[in-house]
Amino acid sequence: MKVVLVDAGGANLGSVHYALGRLGIKARVSGDAAEIAAADRVILPGVGAAGPGMARLRELGLVETLRRLDKPLLGICLGMQLLYESSEEGGVDCLGLLPGRVQRMPAAPGLRVPHMGWNRLQRRTDSPLLEGIPEGAQVYFVHGYCAPVDASCLASSQHGEAFAAVVQRGRVAGAQFHPERSGPFGSRLLANFIEQGS
């Protein structure tokens, strides 16, 4: 099983790599299009803003590589947001692998944005990606933008309004939370992703 972490400059790259290592998974870190295209599983981590994130993927020549992948792809945090058609953050076009637009989380009295800290998952549907992750599992978030709760949403969370926390459509999946910082439930999601379809 060849697992590749896309080296798109995300600050969580090292911690995701370490989390996979704890699971016994030797992942390669690469920005090389041919190596990413040849992988069995691809993970796109990300921290930061959509505009610079997409600019980095374009600079590496990886936009079409990721769009054409025929193996499972998991986006994490910003990496998940980049899977969508566009983001309100900077008005940027994204990878277009999932339908919809990422939007800024609405502010409200007593509600802090960005959303930072532990929050509960609310399962929307059963999925192999959520195997062993119970309803109400607590996971760790850091984000100010979010994806809609729609047909791709496997689990949501609530911060003022409901937002997509785990998504999947075919081979394309995403976690808005940081599995590498979410203890056993985050580890389980990573393991489920690696094992799916194998």
Q: Is 178 a catalytic residue?
A: yes
Sheet bearing 92-93, strands edge to edge: 92-93, 84-87, 98-104, 145-146
Residues near 73 by beta carbon (within 8 Å), at least 6 away in sequence: 42, 43, 44, 66, 83, 97, 171, 172, 173
Full DSSP string of 29-71: EE--HHHHHT-SEEEE---S-HHHHHHHHHHTT-HHHHHH--S
Known active-site residue 131: no
Is residue 94 part of the annotated active site? The answer reads: no
Q: For residue 114, say if its preceding peptide bond is cis, omega within 30 degrees of 0.
A: yes
Contact between residue 93 and residue 54 where contact means Cβ atoms under 8 Å apart: yes
Q: How big is the CA angle at 75 (ends 27 and 50), to the nearest 5 degrees? A: 125
Q: Among residues 17, 143, 159, 178, which one is catalytic?
A: 178
Q: How far is CA 5 from the centre of its chain?
A: 12
Active-site residue (options: 77, 94, 146, 153): 77
Q: Which residues does 94 contact at the CB level (< 8 Å), separation at least 6?
A: 50, 54, 81, 82, 83, 84, 85, 86, 87, 102
Which residue among the candidates 17, 143, 159, 180 is catalytic per the annotation? Answer: 180
The residues that are catalytic are 77, 178, 180
